[in-house]
Structure 1
Amino acid sequence: MGFTEKQEGLVKESWEVLKQDIPHSSLRFFSLILEIAPGAKNMFSFLRESEEIPQNNPKLKAHAVKVFKMTCESAIQLREKGEVVVADTTLKYLGTVHVKSGVKDPHFEVVKEALLRTIEEAIGEEKWNEEMKNAWGEAYDQLAEAIKAEMKNHHDETA
């Protein structure tokens, strides 16, 4: 069974809510990542030098928005094309950056958990349900698989 129109709709609907307070959602997203995996702090150049998560850091906000938006776009692509399609240059860049930052498979799970919890908190318990969680989870998983494949390509090319 492919990604359904309903799943795509759930992702788009919650993305609209999430977009309304990106500064808060971004901060919450990174707070959750560090709550789940404190050691991940050094993987983010914009967090390495600070004792706490900077409230108004434009790089933090930009990174969170990329994760949110790319996951949302993945949902749309899954529905339309049956797969996640990321531009080659973007995918190459993501693969390289993630390899250089020392990202491993378990880190993707940390980000997924933080993403899902951030969305749940942003849209509220009354709208959050298993279907929405699964839709975002599937979209994220497919995006993560594309990035992991490119990370492997990067390893193979530099080995």
Structure 2
Amino acid sequence: MLSEKQEALVKESWELLKQDIPLHSFRLFTSILEKAPGAKDLFSFLRDTDEIPQNNPKLRAHAAKVFRLTCESVVQLREKGGVLIGDATLKWLGSVHLQNGVLAPHFEMVKEALLKTIEEGVGEKWSEEMENAWGEAYDHLAAAIIGEMQAEAAASSKPVP
């Protein structure tokens, strides 16, 4: 779990980031797609385009939702002792990721993009300690989603990709 100092770093940076979620969430998805251009096929609203349209309302809404969920889950980690997402939401996340063919290595790539986005968003406040805090917290969130993907795959007798 996160230390008190790590929790404080995450909360401090989240306060800065949530001042402009549309900007940071768009940066997050831009970074993801720069690292893995093929990932755009995982998103229905990006499949038929060769670029990342900044004004695409579906992308903006989805990116903001992903960014907010990730950041708010991280903040809860120390307070609640784990990643607390409603059972229905966690099941939905596992199902959607499984159906879209998301693999465990994709979560690591998203982590890299998230850390880059946070670094850009907090500027000179960025530190190795902040990076480690966000990285550890993200790993807990990714493990919860992957666990749900595995549970759904086992229940449906489908292999996890």
Tell whether the structures are fold-level matches, with TM greater than 0.5: yes
* Equivalent residues of 2:21, 2:67 under 8 A apart: no
Partner of 2:125: 127
Q: Normalising by structure 2, what TM-score?
A: 0.90
Seq. identity, %: 66
* Equivalent residues of 2:83, 2:140 under 8 A apart: yes
Runs of 4+ in 1 over 6 A off after TM superposition: none
Q: Once superposed, what is the RMSD of the aligned Cα atoms?
A: 1.4
Tell me the secondary structure at the aligned position of residue 20 of structure 1: helix
Query: How many residue pairs were aligned?
Result: 157
Unaligned residue ranges in structure 1 (runs of 5+): none
Instruction: Return the alpha-carbon distance in structure 1 between the equivalents of residues 6 and 71 of structure 2.
Output: 11
Query: CA 1:8–1:63 in structure 2 vs 1: closer, same or farther (change >3 Å)?
Result: farther
Instruction: Return the alpha-carbon distance in structure 1 between the equivalents of residues 152 and 129 of structure 2.
Output: 35
Q: Normalising by structure 1, what TM-score?
A: 0.91
Matches within 5 A, 1:65-84: 65-84=64-83
Shift of 1:83: 1.5
List per-residue Cα deviations over 1:129-156 (Å, max 9, x = no partner). 0111111111111000000000001101
Instruction: Return the alpha-carbon distance in structure 2 between the equivalents of residues 9 and 61 of structure 1.
Output: 28
Instruction: Return the alpha-carbon distance in structure 1 between the equivalents of residues 27 and 148 of structure 2.
Output: 28
Instruction: Return the alpha-carbon distance in structure 1 between the equivalents of residues 148 and 68 of structure 2.
Output: 19
Instruction: Return the alpha-carbon distance in structure 2 between the equivalents of residues 109 and 157 of structure 1.
Output: 25
Unaligned residue ranges in structure 2 (runs of 5+): none
